[in-house]
Amino acid sequence: MVSGKANSSSRRSDKAAGKRAKPPLDAAGLRDLALSYAARYASTGARLEAYLARKIRERGVAEDGEGRSVAVDVPALVARLVELGYVDDAAYARMRARDLGARGYGARRVEQALWAAGVEEGVRAEAAPGEAARRRAAVLMAQRRRIGPFGALPACDRESAADPLAAKKAREKAVAAMLRAGHDYEHVRFIMDAAARADVEAWLDEAADEEGYEGSW
């Protein structure tokens, strides 16, 4: 009699064997993987190329009838998908910049994320947020972290509510958090020193008017 534990172990072994049984990749299989990935995920050419290279390492390359490895040109395949519009670095950069800005992250974090995704410098520059978007993202992060006029106490009470040393440490911690989020120090300082939320709103409107900017980032 075979125990349930043994049966369970056998089933896991069968599943593992099934995963290992995936055939090596030829040009057609690689193309199908690339199309599936591009359909499911917003990506860049560099990220798609890295994904395909990983799949080749995992599964290997198929052999022809004479036992020679089939030639697979990953860069050419990626370039073709870019040409057909399945992969668009500029569209990815704009989308990623908007997403990070809407979450309150600043221009440096946008730059870092796009660089990590393999976006070229010129495309990164085009997707970089302008002044109005930078300010709005900084305000969003300040609201999330209850920094400056978005804290629990109004500006007139912030200094008197704590001793000078505690107030200094709290300010340094808030500034550090904003800088880690990728914001410009000048923007952080303005928000920290703002006497009221109305001052921040006016600051946002000033940049929006100068750029003809409307709506959220």
Q: Residue 139 above 60 pLDDT?
A: yes
In the 8-state DSSP scheme, what is residue 118?
A: T
Structural domain harbouring 16: 4-87
Global pTM exceeds 0.85 = no
How does pLDDT run across 205-214, given as a tens digit for each residue? Answer: 999 998 875 5
Using an 8 Å Cβ cutoff, are 95 and 51 in contact? no
Residue 29 within any structural domain of the chain: yes
**Which of the listed residues 87, 109, 128 is the one where a domain comes to its end?**
87
In a domain, 184, yes or no: yes
> 10 Å Cβ neighbour count for 145?
16
Say if residue 32 is in the same domain as residue 135.
no
Final residue of a structural domain among 87, 111, 134: 87
In angstroms and rounded to an integer, the radius of gyration of the C-alpha atoms of the chain is 26
The CB density around residue 189, as the number of other CB atoms within 10 Å, is: 14
- Do 22 and 51 have their domain in common? yes
Same-domain check for residues 140 and 170: yes
pLDDT band at 39 (very low <50, low <70, confident <90, very high): very high
Q: How many domains does the chain have?
A: 2
pLDDT of residue 83: 96
Nearest to 117 by CA among 134, 99, 103, 135: 99
The domain boundary residue, chosen from 62, 87, 112: 87
- pLDDT of 78 reads 97
> How confident is the model at residue 163, as a pLDDT?
75
Q: Determine what percent of the chain is predicted with pLDDT higher than 70.
A: 82
What pLDDT digit, counting tens, does each position of 54-106 carry?
Answer: 999 999 988 877 767 778 899 999 999 999 999 999 999 999 999 999 999 99
* Residue 217 pLDDT greater than 50, yes or no: no
What does the pLDDT read at residue 151? 86
Give the pLDDT confidence score for residue 27 in this predicted structure. 92
The pLDDT of residue 12 is 60
> Do 128 and 178 have their domain in common?
yes
Q: Are residues 97 and 193 in the same domain?
A: yes
In three-state secondary structure terms, 160 is coil
Specify which residues 61 forms β-bridges with.
25
pLDDT, one tens digit per residue, over 102-132 is 999 999 999 999 999 999 999 999 999 999 9
